[in-house]
Amino acid sequence: MELLLVAALVVVAVIDWPVEATDFANRLDPPSGTHLLGTDQLGRDVLARVLGGVRWTVGLGAAAVLVSVVIGTAVGLATGWLDGTRARIVGTLVQSVVDLVVALPALLVGLLVAAVLGPGLAPAMIALVVMGWAPFARLAHRLTVTARTEEWVVAARSLGAGPVWILRVHVLPAITGPLREAFTARFVGAMLTLAGLSFLGLGVQPPTPEWGAMLAEGRTYAFVAPWLVAAPAAAVVLVSALAGRSRIR
C-alpha cells in the first residue's frame, strides 16, 4: 500500500498539468463534464491545479522531511555512540536541545522564521527542517544506544572495526525500519504545516498551486464557489489519511 501510494504521487507530481491555463469566459464554473472540479476566479481548471499541487504540497513536505531525516539521524548516531564522561555531557546537551525543539509548536516556529526571513518557499522549508530534525535525532539516539550493546556490535569493536564503519555497516541498517516509520508520520505533519503556512500567506505564494495557498485564494469565494475550498481541503485530508493508513499497516 505504501509503495503504491508513493508511486502514484510521484507519477502525478512529474506530469506537467495546465495549472495556469485561464479561461475568463468560464470563471467560477461549477463542476461539470468539462471541468470535473469546476474552475476558479480566473477560469483555471481546479482539478488540474489540485493535481499540480502534489508537486508542491506533497513534494516539498517530503523533501523537508528527507533533509530532516539525514540531519537528525547523523546527530542521533553521533550522540548515541559517544562514550565516557565528556562524551555523555555532550550527548546530554544535544539531547536537551532536541527536547526543546520537539516541545515547540511547528506552526509557531514557522511564524518566527517568516517574521525574520519574510514569507516565501525558502523560509517555509527552513522552518520545516528546523522543526523536523529533532524527532529523528531523538529516535536515532535511543536506537543507537541500544544497538551499541548488541553482541554483533561488540564483536565488531573487538575485531578492531572503527566507529564510522560500525555505524554505517551495522547500526544504521538496524535502525532504518523505525526511522522509515517515523518518516511517514512526520511527513503528514510537515505537509500540514506547509499548507498552514501557505494558507496564512507565509509559505508558498500564489499563483503556485500549493494546496494551502489554494485554500487561501478560494476562501474569498467560499459561498459562491465552495469547490474552490473543498477540492484542496479534500486533497490534504485524503493524502494525510492514506499516509497514516500506510504507516499503521
Is pLDDT of 249 > 60? Answer: no
In the chain, what are the domain boundaries? 2-6+40-248
Name the least confident of 71-75, 151-155, 163-167.
Answer: 151-155
Query: Is the pLDDT assigned to residue 168 strictly greater than 90?
Result: no
What confidence tier does 247 reach under pLDDT thresholds 50, 70, 90? low
d(CA 247, CA 235) in angstroms, rounded, equals 18
11-18 average pLDDT score: 91
Q: Dihedral of CA 123/240/174/147: which sign?
A: positive
Q: Which CATH architecture has domain 2-6+40-248?
A: Orthogonal Bundle (1.10)
Cα 62 to Cα 160: distance, rounded to the nearest angstrom: 38
Min mean pLDDT across 30-39, 159-168, 217-226, 231-240 is at: 159-168
- Predicted model pTM: 0.86
How confident is residue 232, by pLDDT bands cut at 50, 70 and 90? Answer: very high
Residue-wise pLDDT tens digits, 132-145: 998 999 899 889 88
Mean predicted confidence (pLDDT) in 52-61: 94
Band (pLDDT 50/70/90 cuts) for residue 46 is very high
Whether 230 has a pLDDT exceeding 90, the answer reads yes
Considering only residues 95 and 217, tell me which one the structure prediction assigns the higher pLDDT.
217
Exposure b/e, 105-126, CB count within 10 A at least 16 = b: ebbebbbebbeeeebebebbbb
Give pLDDT tens digits for 172-223: 888 898 998 888 888 888 999 899 999 988 889 889 999 999 999 999 999 9
Q: How far is CA 90 from the centre of its chain?
A: 29
